[in-house]
Amino acid sequence: MPAPDPNSKPRLAAGCRWAEANGSERMLMFPEGALRLQGTGREILERCDGQRSVQQIVDEMQAQYKTGESGRIEQEVSKFLESLQQKRIVDF
């Protein structure tokens, strides 16, 4: 599967969820392991709620990190989602 379409709405795949723990780190649970997420990875993934489109996620990230050029953020989001999709953690 190629990079996500800007209009698709990514969500966590079946069998993947956030662990209840709180703090600066959040843990994403999936069948064969868990990811400790901080920073942008966490911010992108927290927006994968099946409501927001990829484009919206990019826009929101851009608004938050005003420094980044638009192309780079878009690419980063798209690469990150693609790799998680291959791991069967995100669907879009």
Partner 1 sequence: MLPNPLALITEITHRCPLHCVYCSNPLEMQKAAAELSTEEWVRVFREAGKLGVLHLHLTGGEPLARTDLTELISGARTAGLYVNLITSGIGLSEARLAALVEAGLEHIQLSFQDSREAEANEIAGTRGHAYKLQLSRLIRQFKIAFTINVVVHRQNLDHLADIITMAEELGPDRLEIANVQYYGWALRNRDLLLPTRQQVEQSQQTVAAAEERLRGRMRIDFTAPDYYARYPKACMGGWGRRLLLLDPAGQVLPCHAAGVLPGMRFDNVREHPLDWIWRESAAFQRFRGEDWMPEPCRSCERRTEDFGGCRCQAFLLTGDAAATDPVCTLAPTHGVVEQALNQISAGAVPSSIPPVPANWIYRPNPGAMSE
30 binds partner 1 (CB under 8 A): yes
Using CB under 8 A as the binding rule, whether residue 87 contacts partner 1 is answered as yes
What is the DSSP secondary-structure string of 27-63?
Answer: EEEETTEEEEE-HHHHHHHHT-BSSS-HHHHHHHHHH
Torsion angle, alpha carbons of 63, 3, 8, 27, to 10: -70
- Least distance in angstroms from the C-beta of 75 to partner 1: 18
> Which part of the chain contacts partner 1 (CB under 8 A), choosing from 13-21, 37-45, 54-62, 67-75?
13-21
Among 27, 35, 62, 68, the residue binding partner 1 under the rule CB under 8 A is 27
Tell me the sheet residues that pair with 26. Answer: 37
Q: Tokens at residue 31, please?
A: 């069948």
The CB-of-49 to partner 1 minimum distance in angstroms stands at: 15
Binding site for partner 1 (CB under 8 A): 1-2, 13-17, 19-20, 27, 29-34, 82, 85-88
